[in-house]
Structure 1
């Protein structure tokens, strides 16, 4: 997308709302583009006036997303449902709140949704992963998958995704206790791996532990490429933000190493010495957009959506897809092979306009 098209796309995104409809099969159908002026069909608004949105996922033709204040929301038949799927009593403090969300690989059959949220117990903050069962856009059942993950106002982690192995991966922050990231007994500062019912997979590095990798400060995004490589975004303390390739039983160094420097720890795939606050990340294999075999990276401080083409697990370049939207919290690839992004301007660190925050779709 050239500069002129990008600017027009952003203007169009703010000026017009184009709804999504679903086919009987549940797949998301592309609406007819608005061709009244050049570039107006590049970025489409799906929903506006969201409160601190954090993560999104797809299932059975619907789009589910979290609002950090404690609401689980849904786009059903192209319309943002006014009533929440569920409301949770969360500790919405800085990095904490209702955070990650993912649907089960067999969602069409079981309607399982997994969420990660922060709660207060006495004077302590904790995180838990909950599996809820959804029916007709409402919660009908809930089960705790994992509890007592250390929580904190900052560095709270929160990303959860299912991998191609149908295991649940959970990125936890160090919860401002940097030494916990190197403590194998602690759940803080780790990538955790669980079965869908919360049990520990027998092929984990330690069959008695959910820990898959350690030495993480504040994981924010997870994505797998077509080769099965797992990529993670991680915020540094003031700089040295990272994109990592996660390998089982490996140590990513925090707090002893940032990005690289020691053979004892894994080096980052990409290191950002000027902080961009990397957030959500997605892998785009092939489809309607010209982003084949690329990572798509959302940034908060950077205020940019990036394309990072990859080859054999290495980033070959970095290109700007979108800017001018303010903070970008999350990105995902929909079943229609278009990009969906959540802005993050109402999180207390941005400059929201009267329609923020938004769920947008990039179609060009």
Structure 2
């Protein structure tokens, strides 16, 4: 498809408005819509009419997108293939279903794909991780490698990513706002999990014989690592106090006892959003194709922007890279340094147009 994007409000890199953030003591205004740009040679539409897309994974020549109702879609040669790679059967709940997707670090040789799936069993909601083997865009095999993560109608987390250590990291959500399971090391709710690629528990995890890497999370949405190997997590708050956290092994991030900061027993967020902007996927940009003033890029749903972020001592800044396309769910970097994002206007909270949702490529 690879059509040039002609949507009002697309803002090329470096034509930004800026505002500054401190912790939750100050309110953060939601950005006003920016002036429309009738044509933008920096952004392409690669796919349209995606149905509630949730996550993106990129190989050298293909892009994989999960749709909440159970499809894994494939974009190859800038074209959305008619047939999905897989059609799974998740639970039909508001913010659960087929969520995160990650490719094995050796995907080009072993063709292994990992997905996070919400399902129902005997009236209870659970989440599990599937390892899928594909060949020529067809499912060859699928098996559960990790199971019985507590599920929820609204807060499942569900983000998957392989870290620099080639371990699989998984963000899980809390089952309810009143639940204290995120503080319980006997529960997988409200945690970051760290797994081997076969779903077994690494021997060097911070808690013996446990998949738990960190605890006290509400609803993780994205994770990334910088060039020093430090892990960052974007996380949804309730109606305010979305967080960006610097994740350290074995540390407690406070939910539900703490939101953002203020209790010495827990780790403080490095950024806090009040009111909520609903952060989505986050990445540390390591390419040189796109000119950015900051190292981090983050999608946002409620604030309907793709931001670049600068984390510094005491004060952080963010600037708009892309706006005017509605809710933005996820962002990834391709091997050539381009950025790919999916919109999320068909998720029940947005205002979709006739061609939503879309996969977009930012080229420069």
Give the TM-score normalised by the residue count of structure 1: 0.88
**Cα distance change on mapping 1:263 and 1:194 into 2, 3 Å:** same
* Residues 23-63 of structure 1: CA deviation (Å, up to 9, x unaligned): xxxxxxxxxxxxxx985312100000000000000124110
Cα pair 2:271 2:316 within 8 Å, conserved: no
Is the contact made by 1:341 and 1:360 (CA closer than 8 Å) also made in structure 2? Answer: yes
Deviating above 3 A after TM superposition, structure 1's stretches of 4 or more consecutive aligned residues are 5-12
Structure 2 equivalent of residue 52 of structure 1: 52
Q: How far apart in 1 are the matches of 2:246 and 2:221?
A: 14
Question: Are the equivalent residues in 2 in contact too, given 1:9–1:40 (CA < 8 A)?
Answer: no
Residues 106, 274 of structure 1: CA spacing in aligned structure 2 closer, same or farther, 3 A cutoff?
same
Q: Residue 68 of structure 1 corresponds to which residue in structure 2? A: 68
Rate the CA distance shift 1:310–1:240 in 2: closer, same or farther, 3 A: closer
Aligned Cα RMSD in Å? 2.0
Determine the structure 2 residue equivalent to 1:261.
262
| Structure holding more helix per residue | 1
The answer to whether structure 1 residue 352 and structure 2 residue 359 are counterparts is: no
Compute the displacement of 1:356 (Å): 0.1
Q: Does 2:120 align with 1:112?
A: no
Find the counterpart in structure 2 of residue 321 from structure 1.
321
Alignment correspondent of 2:167: 167
Q: Does the 8 A contact of 2:6 with 2:40 survive in 1?
A: no
Q: How does 1:1-364 map to 2 (within 5 A)?
A: 10=10, 39-176=39-176, 178-291=179-292, 294-310=295-311, 316-364=316-364
Displacement after TM superposition at 1:311 (Å)? 5.6
Distance 2:266 2:6 in 1: 40
Structure 1 unpaired stretches of 5+? 13-36
Q: Does the CA contact (< 8 Å) of 1:9 and 1:41 recur in 2? A: no
String of CA shifts for 1:309-336, please: whole Å, max 9, x gaps: 3469x87421111111111011111112
Comparing 126-135 and 317-326, the one that deviates more = 317-326
Q: Is the Cα contact below 8 Å between 1:131 and 1:145 reproduced in 2?
A: yes
The answer on whether the counterparts of 1:298 and 1:304 sit within 8 Å (CA) in structure 2 is yes
Distance 1:267 1:359, change over 3 A: same
C-alpha distance in structure 2 between counterparts of 1:197 and 1:90, whole Å? 22
- What residue in structure 2 maps to residue 19 of structure 1? none
SS at 1:94's partner residue?
A: coil
State the 1:141 CA deviation.
1.0
Question: Deviation per CA, 1:251-310, whole angstroms, max 9, x where unpaired?
Answer: 000000000001110000100011001111111023110126511111111111110034
Specify which structure has the bigger relative contact order, considering alpha-carbon pairs within 8 angstroms and separated by 6 or more residues: 2
Q: 1:75 to 1:119 in 2, by over 3 A?
A: same
Contact 2:161–2:168 (CA under 8 A) maintained in structure 1:
yes
How far apart, CA to CA, are the structure 2 residues paired with 1:244 and 1:6? 35
Cα deviation 1:147-198 (Å, max 9, x = unaligned) = 0100010111100000000000000001215201001010000000000011
Query: Whole-Å Cα distance in 1 between the matches of residues 305 and 9 of structure 2?
Result: 14
Whether the aligned pair in 1 keeps the contact of 2:47 and 2:360 (CA below 8 Å) is yes
Cα distance in 1 for residues equivalent to 2:131 and 2:239: 34
State the aligned residue count.
335
CA 1:305–1:156: 2 relative to 1, 3 Å = same
Deviation at 1:92, TM superposition (A): 2.8
CA contact (8 A) 1:162 1:168 kept: yes
**Gap regions ≥5 residues in structure 2:** 13-36
Relative distance call for 1:318 and 1:146 in structure 2 (3 A) is: same
Q: Indicate how the Cα distance of structure 1 residues 315 and 291 shifts in structure 2: closer, same or farther if over 3 A, else same.
A: farther
Q: Counterparts of 2:306 and 2:99 in 1: how far apart (Å)? A: 20
| Deviation digits for residues 221-256 of structure 1 (CA, Å, limit 9, x no counterpart) | 011111111110111111000000110000000000
